[in-house]
Structures are given as C-alpha cells and as structure tokens.
Structure 1
Amino acid sequence: MERTPEQSPYPQENVSYPTSSAPSFTFPDSESTTIRYPVDEKRPDGLMPGTHATSAANSIIDEKEGHGHDLEHGGHGHGDDNHIDINDPNRPKYGIRQRLHHFTWAWFTLPMSTGGLSLLIFAQPHQFPGLRQIGLFVYIVNIIIFTTLTCLMLARFFLHHGDFYNSLSHPREGFFFPTYFLSIATLITSTERYAIPDDDTTLKWAIQTVFWGYVVVTLILAVGQYSFVFAKHNFGLQTMMPTWILPIFPIMLSGTIASVIADTQPDIASVPIVIAGMSCQGLGLSVAVMMYAHMVGRLMSSGLPNREHRPGLFMNVGPPAFTALAFIGMANGLPDNFDREMDGFIDVYLIRTFAIIGAIFLWSLSLWWFGIALIAVLSSRPKYFHLGWWAMVFPNTGFILATISIGNEFKNESVLWVATGMSICLLSTYLFVLYSHIRAVIIQDIMYPGRDEDVNDH
C-alpha cells in the first residue's frame, strides 16, 4: 500500500546544486525551502544525467516495512507530492560540509563499543600470547577514534551555528548525547587496565581524581537531561525506545569504573570509591528498572519497534549486566580486612557472597532481554544501516564480562568456555557492524538527510 506524503517521517533539506545557463525547475517542500535540479533541455525528462526526482509513491516508506507506524512527538512530514527518495541509488550526493550537518551524537556509540572490546580482550579467561598486545592496540585505536569524532563534532557546531542546542534538544538525537560520556567511561577503565603500572602512585591518584570528576559531571547530566526532557517534550508510551535509558547510563557506569579501579587503590581510598560506585550503580539500575516498565508496556500495547530500529532493544541488556559486573568487582575491590562493625559478622567475605548472589540474579534479567532482542532482530532483520546497530555490541560486552566474572568466582571452566564462545560471537558482530558502518559512510547511507538520528522515524 502506498503511503501519502504526509505520513513520511523524513524532513526536507535545503539542497543546492550547481546550475548551468539552461533553465531549471524546483520542488517546494513543506518548509518553503527549495530543491533545485539542473536541467538538460535535450533530454525528454529535462533532467541532467544522474539526477533523479521521485514522487511520494516511490518514497523510502514503500521500502521500509512497517516504518513510521509509531512516530515520536515532533515527527515531520512532506507537504508536497515531489521530494527526493533518500533510498534511490541515484539520489543527489552531498559534500562534507552538508554531511557534517547530520553528524550526530550517536556516532559515539562507535568508541563506546571499541572501548568495550578492549576491556573484553583484557578480561578473557583463556589468554594466548599476544592477546594483551591486541587489546592494547584496540585501546590506542579507540583513543584515536574518540579524538577524531570529537573534532568532527566540533566542526559540525562551528560550520552550522545553532546545531549544538538543536542536537541536545532534539527529541531523538538528544538521547544519544550521553554516549559521549559513556565513551569516556570506557577510556577511563581501559586506561586503568592498559596504561597504569601497578607501582605508579602518581597515576593511581590521577585516575582516582578522574573518577570523582566523572561522578560529578554524570550526576549533573542525569538530573539535568531528564529535567529538560520532562519540561520540553511530550512523548507517548507507544513511542518508547530503549534510548530513553541512555541519560542514566553514564552515572551508572561510575560503579563499573569503581569496580575496576578500587582494587588498585590504597585501602583508605578504595572504600569511599566503592561506596560512591555502589550509590551510582543503584541510582542507574533503579531508573533503568522504571524505564523497563514503560518498555514492556510499549511492547505489550504497540508491539515491537519497526525493523530498522530493533537492534536498539539490546540496550536493555546493559543495565543489569553492568550492575552484575560492578557488584562482583566492587566487592573484590574492598580491603580483605574490611569489617565495618569490627565484630566479624558483616565482613568482606559475607559482602562478596551477597555480591555473587545479586550478580547472578541480575545476569538472568540480562539474559532475558538478550533473548527478546535477538528474536526481534532475527524475525525482521534491518535493511538499512543505522548507528543504533552498535547496541548489538556495547551492552552485550557488559553481559559477557559479567559472565566471565561469575565464572571466575565459581572457578567453573564450563562457564568460562561459554564466555569465550560469546566473546568470539561478539567480535564477529563488531566486525560486521564496523564494516556496515564504513560502507554506509562511503555510499552516503548515513550523514545524509533523513538517514540519521536527527529525524524522528520511529
């Protein structure tokens, strides 16, 4: 069934093309902007070779099954029958300046996932010679990726004034802003693993200072962004997506950072770090559980998201998985002589026992969400690349790391070998998504009007 132009969720873009002395014609869009095409009077259709204009009947919506059935608040439509089909191979190509206008915060899901991969390599229970060096290489590459993306984002804001506020206030792209801080979290933990020697006191104090600074900044982010969303947006339950959880994710990962650095800190510093990490982890998980209620309500009442955004369901795997990982890590990070009441009743060993119990409890919830997301994606696989595909990597990294931690606590080789198999699958997924990402950039499937997280198409 053909869809009318008003149903299309893709906004028009100001597009300008070189013109010749020959006459040209224009298609006005709903925002009174103009799309201008060069004209060749010798051709029957009047268009220059390689230029293609389509009607709404040939729009992308005809190709995206189920797309646009649950538009978020703020979605846009077309007010004219003539517009560019953004899936047409002959669609107009853009230069770097125009494409940077669509360089969104969601790009930081790439260094998030790369940093998670470096941590997973370090934590592998079955090491072989050279594996740690591979992990170090991935860590260095991730620093380069993060720095490059930061520079490109600054270039976007410099070239397109107003994009900074618009990106933060956008009802969809704004939820990806926390991925910048999640990337920083992976850099902090990876730096602790790969770059800080065990006997370097100065660097240990430096990483502790970075931890406390990260806690303060991400707490402000968690309160500030949700306050803005509550005041400025009005979402319906049927539009709920796992990205709603992202603003609480950075503060939650403070617990994961604490679980990594506490064991290497002096006793006088490790206890406050663990307490702060547990507080942040509890805050993050509590908010995530509240969001889960909305997520299940949306799935029960409106069904699964359209196929193009189903990989985002893997985000639900992250909060319980990283909390399970943090529980075990923070318990092990406490000093062996820790006994708050000094009576031998609630000592560090009892705390570690309860941490394992809680970790298994939460790991099971992650497993359930993993199964839901996997079946949803396999039942209707996405056709077009979106940056949300990286959700198939980073949250599952926490799931596998939690599996490894549980296996190490029980010294169960079967669990550890399962975790090794899961790691191989995750590496394959990472390489597949990375290839798809690079290909999408080259053929302009992303960083193109209507193809990124700066439109409301779900």
Structure 2
Amino acid sequence: MTFEQMRAVSLGLRPLSRLDSPREVVRQFTPNWFAVTMGTGVLSIALAQVGRSVPVLHGLAEGLWLFNTGLFVLFTGLYAGRWIFFFDGARRIFGHSVVSMFFGCIPMGLATIINGFLIFGLPRFGSAAVEIAHALWWLDAAMATLCGIAIPYMMFTRQSHSVDQMTGVWLLPMVAAEVVAVSGALLAPHLTDPQSQFTILTVSYILWALSVPLAMSVLVVLVLRLAVHKLPHASMAASSWLALGPIGTGALGLMTLGAASPAILAANGLERFAGTVEGLGFVGGLLLWGYGLWWLAIATLVTLRYLREGLPFNLGWWGYTFPIGVYALATLKLGTILPVPAIHVFGVALVVLLAAVWTIVAARTLRGAWLGELFAAPCLKAEHGSPQGDTIRTAAF
C-alpha cells in the first residue's frame, strides 16, 4: 500500500480493501451472504412478537424488516450478477461440498420477508400485502423444494464428503422447506378463499414432511460424528448451533399449522379432523421443543469451549442468529399455549440474547465487508488446488 492510500484510509476516505477491484465483490459473492437476511429477518419477527404492546420496539422491528428486504434485493442482484458476468466461476459452486449447502439460505431468507409482509405490511398496505406474500410464498416453496432435493442429490453423486468433515452445515438445504411451511401456516388464514387456504395448509404440511424427518436423520449422524471425531475447526464453531434450527422451526411449524388448521378444515368440510390436528401440533411441538433444550445446552457448552481457545470471525457467525431466533419464536408460541409464565419469560430472554448476538455479528460483518475481508468464494480457491480441509475452513462457516 502506498503512503497516499494509507493517508486516505486514515482520513476515512476509502476502505482498506483486500480486493483487487470492486468487480471482485460480484465475482466472489456466494449464497453465504443470505444468512445475513435470515438472522436479520428472524430478529425483526422476534422483536415484533415481544413488542406488540410497545410501539418503539414494534417500530424497530418494522425498520429491521424494511432494511432486511433491501438487503435481500441487493444480495439477489449481486448473486445474479455473478452468474451473468462470471458464469464459469459461479457454476463451480455445485461441486463444492460446503458452499453449495448455503443455497438453502436463499429461500429461508425470503421466508422471513414474506412473514414480514403479514406482520408489518398488512396494517400498512392492506390486502395488497397478502397478495404479495401469497405470490412470493409459492416461489419460495418451489425454491425450497428444489434446494432440498437437488443439493442432496449432488452430495450423493458429484461432491466429495466424509464423516470426519461433516458439520451442521449439511442441514441448510434440507431445512428450507420447513421454514417455508411456517410461512404457509401464517399466510393461509389471511386468504379469503377457503380452497386456497386449504391448499396452502396442505402444501405446508408436505413441506414440513419433506424437511423435518430428513433433518432428524442428519442429526443422528452428526451426534456420531461429534462423538468419534470431536469438534470441528474453530472457523466452523457456529455450526454447533445449526442443529437447533430444524428443531425449533419444526416445533414452531407444528404448533403454527395446528393453530391454523381448525378453522380452515371446518371451512372445507373436514371439521372432524380439526381437534386431532391441533392436538398433534401441540404435542409434537412440545416434544421437539424439549429436544431442542438438549441441543441448546450442548451448543452453549461447545461455544464456551471455543471462546476459551479463540474464535476467529467469519460470515459463519450468522449461524448463531437464526437457530436462536426460531427457537425463541417456538418458545414464545409454546408460551401462548401452555399456562406456564416461565416459558414466556424464557422466550423473551432468548430474544434478548438474539438481539445481543445480532448486534455483535452485524457490526463485525459491516467492518469486514467495508474492508473487503469477507468477499471470498472457496469454490474459486478450490480450483487453484486448495485442499478440501482448507476450503472448508475458508467457507462461510
């Protein structure tokens, strides 16, 4: 760096970029960045849940949703630009055993925006918000289904995997469908046509089934991997929390779908099943929530161990936010069903934790993006002969 460049940086006139040119932002852009929209979106929803009677908190939540929507549009443009201008490099992601998993972040990030249209957009835009959410939901359902099938197929046929290198990142493409299922449960009651409500409800249950059983099977293998091969590299520390994501979302999905089902089933002549479906939603949600307590405890202990040994920052830190967020939402939802005040208090505490973690990670991400440190596509490094282990450690987690 020249003296003039150092002087400009010290004056705050330009970033200390590690990129050769601004075009590198597009060339190096990967779906990992959509984890930012997942974490920001779930925080906006969680704040809205605990701040219903607090105008300032609800306003903050709505502001975060608008900001997150802008981020999603920006990231979509950048990633589309990579495919348009750097097609050969962009297509290498399909053969990368880690970065390809992050395709699941795209439909999950969009799901938080769809939920925001129902929470924040409905009071401001009326029925137009529901129409937008409805159209986006079908697009999101298609993307989540494609991701949940295509990425595992590539894992089976063209990618190189080993149990000792396995982490919770495997879950990302598989859990997208259940996240969209939760959005479907929120959307269906807002539709005016009973048949449309029933269609969304049915497809949401199918999406839940496409995701949760598969995620549970992956968690079995993950427990074995951790017992035999111990903890992954510190750069993948946040992946310890990813297991909480499908558990929390699965619980939230069952309870939300169960709550929406009675009225929709009754409107379609299926009221005889209403009580059963609602009861299964409560019992299933409670069981999954209890299972999540174990993973919450394990992830906390693992993180404390990593902190003692040193925890390098990377985009993977966003992996702390979404799992905490969906488990907090599941806890708050359970608190509205069970007359146990401690559950609601626990849910609020998790939201406070989420807000604190988000603030730290967002600040570090903003600094890293400004300096150009976070724009690196491991699939491009792999083409120059980086070992498998190195590309895993330089991935978003």
TM range (shorter): 0.7 to 0.9
C-alpha distance after superposition, 1:412-446 (max 9, x if no partner): 33221221121111100000011111222234432
Matched residue, 2:284: 358
The 3 A distance-change label for structure 1 pair 161 and 425 is same
**Conservation of the 8 A alpha-carbon contact between 1:104 and 1:453:** no
- For 2:301 and 2:29, the matched residues in 1 are separated by 30
- For 2:369 and 2:139, the matched residues in 1 are separated by 35
Percent identity, aligned pairs only? 18
Q: Which of 195, 207, 215 is 1:280 aligned to?
A: 207
Matched residue, 1:431: 359
Matched residue, 2:113: 187
Question: Offset of 1:387 from its aligned partner?
Answer: 1.1
Letter in 1 for 2:391: N
**Conservation of the 8 A alpha-carbon contact between 2:51 and 2:57:** no
C-alpha distance after superposition, 1:315-335 (max 9, x if no partner): 100111111111111111124
Matched residue, 2:224: 297
Matched residue, 2:172: 246
Residue 35 of structure 2 corresponds to residue 147 of structure 1? no
Matched residue, 1:405: 333
- For 1:181 and 1:209, the matched residues in 2 are separated by 14
- For 1:341 and 1:202, the matched residues in 2 are separated by 25
Shift >4 Å, 4+ stretches: 90-93, 197-203, 339-344, 448-455
Question: Offset of 1:132 from its aligned partner?
Answer: 1.8
- For 2:113 and 2:264, the matched residues in 1 are separated by 31
**Consecutive unaligned residues in structure 2, runs of 5 or more:** 7-15, 383-389
Letter in 2 for 1:144: G
**Conservation of the 8 A alpha-carbon contact between 1:385 and 1:440:** no
**Conservation of the 8 A alpha-carbon contact between 2:111 and 2:137:** no
1:332-343 matched pairs, under 5 angstroms:
332-336=259-263, 338=265
- For 1:395 and 1:105, the matched residues in 2 are separated by 18
**Normalising by structure 1, what TM-score?**
0.74
C-alpha distance after superposition, 1:371-399 (max 9, x if no partner): 21121111022532111111100111110
Q: Which of 257, 263, 284 is 1:330 aligned to?
A: 257
- For 2:263 and 2:106, the matched residues in 1 are separated by 36
Matched residue, 1:204: 130
Matched residue, 2:297: 371
**Conservation of the 8 A alpha-carbon contact between 1:125 and 1:416:** no
Question: Offset of 1:453 from its aligned partner?
Answer: 9.3
**Normalising by structure 2, what TM-score?**
0.84
Alignment RMSD: 3.0
- For 1:304 and 1:144, the matched residues in 2 are separated by 36
**Conservation of the 8 A alpha-carbon contact between 1:168 and 1:177:** no
- For 1:226 and 1:450, the matched residues in 2 are separated by 19
The 3 A distance-change label for structure 1 pair 91 and 153 is closer
More helix by share: 2
Matched residue, 2:311: 383
Q: Which of 260, 264, 274 is 2:190 aligned to?
A: 264
- For 1:424 and 1:383, the matched residues in 2 are separated by 22
Q: Which of 288, 302, 307 is 2:234 aligned to?
A: 307
**Conservation of the 8 A alpha-carbon contact between 1:125 and 1:404:** no
**Conservation of the 8 A alpha-carbon contact between 1:321 and 1:398:** yes
Letter in 2 for 1:184: L
**Conservation of the 8 A alpha-carbon contact between 1:385 and 1:445:** no
**2:122 alignment partner, SS class:** coil
Matched residue, 1:97: 23
Matched residue, 1:457: 392
Question: Offset of 1:154 from its aligned partner?
Answer: 3.1
